[in-house]
Structure 1
């Protein structure tokens, strides 16, 4: 066998091996789940919460929290990012309850107390199921869908096939395939990605007002991503820029809280930072819930 052919076969073999590893290990890299015991009790200071469990048609259990206030204007369905569980994400509910909205959060399959085999199809069905449950109690004109990072794609899918009051995207991606491409530009990711989550495709079919919030110093999902997304439906989309904001620290910026209050109330209102998640660390080890 000629030397060049041997080298070529080795290179092809290595490339094939890496492709196989990317396909089978992407769940580990995309979903940094935190599991919680079934008897774990959620607790948040100055917040009234109700835990819920929904069984899916394939037997999975979706666990979540409903943050409740008196006489809410509506409800925010908050689809979180790819790390931890709602144990930690729950501390951000205050940014919506202080503005007069109930908040519903859920853990994706494999996160927190939620169970079930995770696929893109299953994730889309799950968020629709939770949305359907909300519609049993709240008119769609009072439902706001909020997607944070990983949740932005699922939030966009929901808004594209339903009629919520508005869609808010926090640090959204163009597609997960594009995000992965930053780290493996030489791989055929369009074939390998099990969770492409093409936000840009679904955004074309959204008919409600769209608000996009993004920090200019986001190193994981560049700010230019939101600029591109904002041009898909410019007539109904507003891009809100947090100068200096990164991927996990937007709540540390007063401008973010002003933007969010203005979006939710559809008018400019003064804010009291002490009543928000201002300066609360995303991965804080502070005791936010009972262990």
Structure 2
């Protein structure tokens, strides 16, 4: 056998082996869950909260915490977290919304915290829709705000595309998870291998509520240009908010983030009479 033939066969075998490994190991690479015992007691200083469990139709348990504002509630924020740890640690971010008068519901995905069940993209989407349906039993959709952080941004976009919340807020979102992983494995057939493609850009097309995207300019995991591209998917409903110098995990350490978050939460849809603007005026150097 010629040397180049044996080399080619070896490369093909390695490529196939890596592809198989990537398919079966991606859950371990994408998700970094913190598991909690059933009797774990949550504790948050200076925050009122209640723990809830939702049993899904396939028998899984989705564990969540509802944080409450001090005064009368203005609505509820369904906060979909990132891919690591559990709501035990993510709960500290609820104060950013309770201080504005909103209830905050955080849930752990399957296999995170106290939540159980076999994880898949379809199962998580179904779980979150069941959670959303429970919220609709307690309040009207015009009082529900969807907030998706990193991994949770894709699931939040999907929920918004299937429902009618007051608004959708995406924090450091990705165009699709396939695109994110392609940066690290550019030669792999990820469109075939990914169990969690999470095509945020596809779902945003069908969102009919105001969309607010928050992203830091120094995000090295999901580049800022990703949000620029996403903001063009549904431009009439989308507003991009830029945190200058912000990375992927530190936006909460910037005053500008909290100022823009407050503006977003308190904002109401506006319309203007474009006939009174310069929208149809052409800029030309040939005329004064």
Please say if 1:168 is aligned against 2:169.
yes
Please say if 1:54 is aligned against 2:54.
yes
Q: Deviations over 1:58-93 (max 9, x none)?
A: 111000000012311000000000000000000000
Aligned counterparts of 1:150 and 1:175: Cα–Cα separation in 2: 10
Q: Residue 233 of structure 1: CA displacement?
A: 1.1
Q: Residue 5 of structure 1: CA displacement?
A: 1.0
Q: Residue 244 of structure 1: CA displacement?
A: 0.3
Q: What SS does structure 2 have at the residue aligned with 1:54?
A: strand
Query: TM-score, structure 2 length as denominator?
Result: 0.92
Please say if 1:8 is aligned against 2:8.
yes
Query: TM-score, structure 1 length as denominator?
Result: 0.91
Q: What SS does structure 2 have at the residue aligned with 1:136?
A: helix
Structure 1 segment 102-121 matched on structure 2, within 5 A = 102-121=103-122
Larger Rg: 2
Q: Deviations over 1:250-270 (max 9, x none)?
A: 001000000000001118xxx
Unpaired runs of 5+ residues, structure 2, are 269-288
Unpaired runs of 5+ residues, structure 1, are 268-291
Q: Residue 204 of structure 1: CA displacement?
A: 0.1
Match of 2:281 in 1: none
* Stretches of 4+ aligned residues off by more than 2 angstroms: none
Q: Residue 231 of structure 1: CA displacement?
A: 0.7
Structure 1 segment 80-99 matched on structure 2, within 5 A = 80-99=81-100
Q: How many residues align?
A: 267
Aligned counterparts of 2:44 and 2:139: Cα–Cα separation in 1: 24
Q: Which has the higher contact order (CA 8 A, sep 6+)?
A: 1
Pairwise CA RMSD: 0.7
Structure 1 segment 242-253 matched on structure 2, within 5 A = 242-253=243-254
Aligned counterparts of 2:139 and 2:199: Cα–Cα separation in 1: 28
Q: Residue 234 of structure 1: CA displacement?
A: 1.0
Aligned counterparts of 2:73 and 2:171: Cα–Cα separation in 1: 22
Q: Deviations over 1:72-130 (max 9, x none)?
A: 10000000000000000000000000011000000000000000000110010011010
Q: Deviations over 1:200-257 (max 9, x none)?
A: 0000000000000000000000000000000111111000000000000000100000
Please say if 1:149 is aligned against 2:138.
no
Q: Deviations over 1:184-207 (max 9, x none)?
A: 001000000000000000000000
Aligned counterparts of 1:219 and 1:162: Cα–Cα separation in 2: 32
Q: What SS does structure 1 have at the residue aligned with 2:77?
A: strand
